[in-house]
Structure 1
């Protein structure tokens, strides 16, 4: 009898939660250009350019520019990175920001790489320190940026890569995002990404990928957004160590 009562209570709570929460869906199309630069056996750099559209291609959503540098100890599965991201977000729905909003963040990252037979795994831990522009309406009824607010965010990504045949491969990852305040307190769910892509290796150091990215984003306690996303990625790595060897 007690078990039945508990089951009824749980079902009732879940029903109330689902009815109290609103979920909206928007289709996205994202384009990524990724580059890595090998300087030595231990040091490398990288750059990323992200252009994101929503309502598939009809509305611009976000621009991201992200340079970084990485230190990889010899014969170690760990890599340590530090980088900077500039984000320019655009209003795209009635629930989004009212005007274009800038963000600057500095981040540290540790990546653990593993392999099992033909499978390649990586665990990525990133801590972001975010400076987000505060939008304030002026006397002309236009929004301007008035100072910046500071907060932190933690991200964990598990990636699995598997070669299929010839130069084709499958890439899968899941990434969890956790928001925190300026003192690393009050962690709260921000979003989750689930990525399934197929890629093809071109030239010697490059590849292209086409993927489906499923995003679940918490906008508020009562509002979630789901973004089914088609993502196109081009990656090319530059190895400057060869020039040193040939000289």
Structure 2
């Protein structure tokens, strides 16, 4: 009972904080993108897994990269309802959209996370709590107007994702999946407590076997870019989920 109450409180936190920054008066830009994601686990030994994510994100016309991310990590599956992980993210953001960066900027991030899961009838819930230590390239503009980078800016960020899925057809081969994720800036460095971004996803996937799932969905991103500017972006998302277990 206590565990169910805890999960319910997490869900309310996610839904409640989502709109903190939405009411502020800002200029809101809109973009449309294509996001491709591959996420997988490779079993190393017993409950230890090498986890990796690869994100290739393209501009609305698929003329070039919007962003790409590589996220390796090590995960320990303590039980069916609890896993912990730690890893590294390399992220590069390219000039794109209606208010583009003058040059491409990269970010190196260390992260630690806990994932809790539970099941209610046919619904499977996953709650991921992640803490990040971010090292983002500092953009500088010279007196002559030239742009470049000078070192890195350090900030922290907290993320909470609530994901739910359930089978809907073909003898539990086809699933519907939805998630909402909050990204919250932690005070310190150059940031104050604020909503960095919010992601909402709705889609479905086909489970070919225990180790491979392919899915497609739509995603909405609210991205807070300061006191006066924000983005409201829509993406088509293509997803590959895989799991490779060692043979016993």
Q: What TM-score, normalized by structure 2, do the two folds share?
A: 0.84
**1:1-247 matched pairs, under 5 angstroms:** 20-73=25-78, 75=79, 77-137=81-141, 142-166=146-170, 167-182=173-188, 186-240=192-246, 242=247, 245=248
8 Å CA contact 2:28–2:231 kept in 1: the answer is yes
Helix, strand or coil: the match of 1:57? coil
Segment drifting more, 229-238 vs 178-187: 178-187
Q: Rg: which structure is higher?
A: 1
Change (3 A) 1:204 1:78: closer
Matches of 1:163 and 1:45, distance apart in 2: 27
Matches of 1:140 and 1:237, distance apart in 2: 52
Runs of 4+ in 1 over 4 A off after TM superposition: 138-142
Matches of 1:185 and 1:103, distance apart in 2: 16
Matches of 1:76 and 1:171, distance apart in 2: 19
> Deviation of residue 135 (structure 1)?
2.0
RMSD of Structure 2 on Structure 1 (CA):
2.1
Helix, strand or coil: the match of 1:72? strand
Matches of 2:204 and 2:51, distance apart in 1: 22
Gaps of 5+ in 1: 1-16
Q: What TM-score, normalized by structure 1, do the two folds share?
A: 0.84
Helix, strand or coil: the match of 2:207? strand
8 Å CA contact 2:31–2:97 kept in 1: the answer is no
